[in-house]
Amino acid sequence: MLRRFSFLPIPLFLALCFAFFPSPLRAQEKPYIVTYDQFLEEPRSLEVEYFSTVGTQRGGNQFHSYWLELEYGATAWWTTEFYLDAQSTFNDSTVSTGVRWENRFRPLRREHFLNPVLYVEYEHVNGADKLLKEVEGHDVESDFALPNAIARREIKNELELKLILGSNFKGWNISENFLSVKNLAGEPWEFGYAVGASRPLALKAAAKRCNFCPQNFAAGVEIYGGLGNTASFGLQETSQYLAPVVAWNLPSGWTLRASPTFGLNGNSHRFLIRWGIAKEFSGFGDTLGKLFRGRS
Amino acid sequence: MKPHFVALAISGILLSVSLCFAQNKTRTEKSPQTIPHDYSELAKAPEKARLRPNPFEKDPDAVIAGQFLFENHCAECHGEAGVGGKKAPSLRAPEVQNASPGTLFWLLTSGVTRKGMPVWSKLPEAQRWQIVRYLKSLGPKSDSATETSNSSRFPSSPPYLRPTINTHLRFGPSSL
């Protein structure tokens, strides 16, 4: 019998965040769902994010996968994130699919035309993982057709390395990610990529507080997919996706993202609808410091 | 191992490490006024960057827009009205107020990541210039700063456009 995953602690945690860290404002997020840009979380700020993907599935049941992401700015050059993943497959079950711990480092001190960020992630996930947080190796749609009871028996401990490159040009953000993933059980390195471009609808801020000002909206497009593995590198037998993306950064600190995603080849899911909601708690680290160490 | 336990263990480690890192630079409790802040980064601006003029220099709305942006992104560390705090220096110090707009724009864009100031190139260039315009409007901090009402500082602005804070500020020569 499948053990159902309880999300009960999550609303509890969020309620505590809102109660103890009611700090305002400060959302200026890019609209990407998969692609990482070069920007890190502000120091001592916590961003709580929820992302959701509903996907079509040929030869199986459609699914709804989701993750909770806690993103903390440890320093101005280091951001650390923790993920809790789960999915529900229609006419099947809801299962937890694992946890991830991710770190991003900005090695250069100054802003350049091309800004690198180094990314290291440890994943403890099972075979029922349907997040599509990235596409790697020879990931194909048919991988998702297995019933959860069978798929979740496979446990994977993976190390993921990513090179994130980001540029700003005339208001546009252009970000490129190159990723390699190693299953620590001894499987070959797998590769993937993601590229995104986005721009706020207005570059100049309005001289008033407003929710619907064009500078609060950003739109763009991202494309991502697998690149095979060390044994067979390339675009063959992988899935590829194209996704328009849009974000709404509310002055209250909330960010909403949405992205209809289209599979570009026969190995891809035909259509995914993805969305996310995020709230930033600035000064989280300071508040915790006061709580535990009595500092003002 | 149950995912809940893994999650809790990793969260605990993560939180501890992050907190240690975040707190280790504030061992000594001092008031904002007594904390010696380092403005030497300003001198590192390349000449080309220093000489860039602010395209919003003559835009009165830029001060108000810049103030909203400042409140959203900068005030948490630099304090409301830029008077500084434990985490970041005063932006009304002569070092800042005497710096060229291009220098401030360069610093805002590049950050001082090793000293805790993030890169702000995530904001569009126009918005960074609007923040610079606001910073330059603050003028140096003075203990004898006179109370100045919003209405006298923004005589041409309707009340709903006037900033809601900083009523204690004294504007410098580059103000509106």
Taking CB atoms and an 8 Å limit, are A26 and B130 in contact across chains?
no
Q: What is the pLDDT of residue A252?
A: 86
Alpha-carbon distances, residue A105 vs A42, A116, A119 (angstroms): 13, 9, 6
Q: Between these two residues, A83 and A209, which has the higher pLDDT value?
A: A83
- Residues of A within 8 A of B76 (CB-CB) are 23, 26, 282-283
The single-letter DSSP state of residue B165 is S
With a pLDDT cut of 70, the percent of chain A lying above it is 90
**Cα separation of B80 and B71, whole Å?**
7
Q: What kind and span of H or E run contains A213?
A: none
Mutate to test the interface with B, among A118, A173, A286 (most CBs of B within 10 A): A286
Of A70, A75, A96, the CB nearest to B116: A75
**Cα separation of A106 and B112, whole Å?**
12
Q: What kind and span of H or E run contains A193?
A: strand A190-200
Output the six-digit token pair for A242: 């194209």
**Cα separation of A291 and A285, whole Å?**
10
Enumerate residues 6+ apart whose C-beta is below 8 A from A149.
A2, A93
Q: What is the pLDDT of residue A2?
A: 42
Q: What kind and span of H or E run contains B108?
A: helix B101-110
pLDDT at residue A122 is higher than 80: yes
In a structure prediction context, what are the per-residue pLDDT tens digits for chain B, which is 176 residues long? 555 666 566 666 655 665 555 444 444 444 445 456 778 899 999 999 999 999 999 998 999 999 999 998 999 899 988 999 888 999 999 999 999 999 999 999 999 998 899 999 999 999 999 999 999 999 876 544 433 434 444 444 444 344 443 333 333 333 22
Q: Are A6 and A39 in contact (CB under 8 A)?
A: no
Taking the CA of residue A259 and the nearest CA in chain B, the distance in Å comes to 21
Phi and psi at residue A75, to the nearest 5°? -140, 180
**Cα separation of A130 and A143, whole Å?**
9
Taking CB atoms and an 8 Å limit, are B18 and A80 in contact across chains?
yes
Q: What is the pLDDT of residue B87?
A: 84
The runs of H, that is alpha helices, within chain A are 9-20, 148-151, 284-293
Taking CB atoms and an 8 Å limit, are A109 and B113 in contact across chains?
yes
- Decide: helix, strand or coil at residue A70: strand
**Cα separation of A98 and A128, whole Å?**
9
Q: What is the pLDDT of residue B11?
A: 63
Q: What is the pLDDT of residue B9?
A: 66
Q: Are B110 and B119 in contact (CB under 8 A)?
A: yes
B64 Cβ under 8 Å from any chain A Cβ = yes
Q: Are A136 and A179 in contact (CB under 8 A)?
A: yes
The single-letter DSSP state of residue A2 is P
| Whole-number average pLDDT of chain A | 91
A209 Cβ under 8 Å from any chain B Cβ = yes
Q: What is the pLDDT of residue B13?
A: 66
**Cα separation of A30 and A79, whole Å?**
16
pLDDT in tens, A220-244: 999 999 999 999 999 999 999 999 9
pLDDT at residue A126 is higher than 90: yes
Q: What kind and span of H or E run contains A119?
A: strand A115-126
B61 Cβ under 8 Å from any chain A Cβ = yes
pLDDT in tens, A17-64: 565 554 555 567 899 999 999 999 999 999 999 999 999 999 999 999
Residue B75, burial from CB neighbour count under 10 angstroms (0-12, 13-18, 19+): buried
Backbone dihedral region for residue A203 (phi beyond 0: left; psi -120 to 50: alpha; all else: beta): alpha
pLDDT band at A12 (very low <50, low <70, confident <90, very high): low
Q: What is the pLDDT of residue A283?
A: 83
On whether ipTM exceeds 0.85, the answer is yes
Determine the residue type at A1: M
Closest CA to B168 of B148, B141, B150, B152: B148
Alpha-carbon distances, residue A239 vs A34, A127, A193, B104 (angstroms): 14, 17, 11, 46
Taking CB atoms and an 8 Å limit, are A72 and B161 in contact across chains?
no
Cβ neighbours, 10 Å, residue B32 = 16
pLDDT band at A9 (very low <50, low <70, confident <90, very high): low
Q: What is the pLDDT of residue B15?
A: 59
Q: What is the pLDDT of residue B2?
A: 58
The whole-model pTM stands at 0.82
- Decide: helix, strand or coil at residue A248: strand
pLDDT in tens, A185-206: 989 999 999 999 999 999 999 9
Q: What is the pLDDT of residue B165?
A: 39
- Residues of B within 8 A of A285 (CB-CB) are 18-19, 22-23
Closest CA to A195 of A236, A229, A167, A158: A167
CA B160 to chain centre: 23
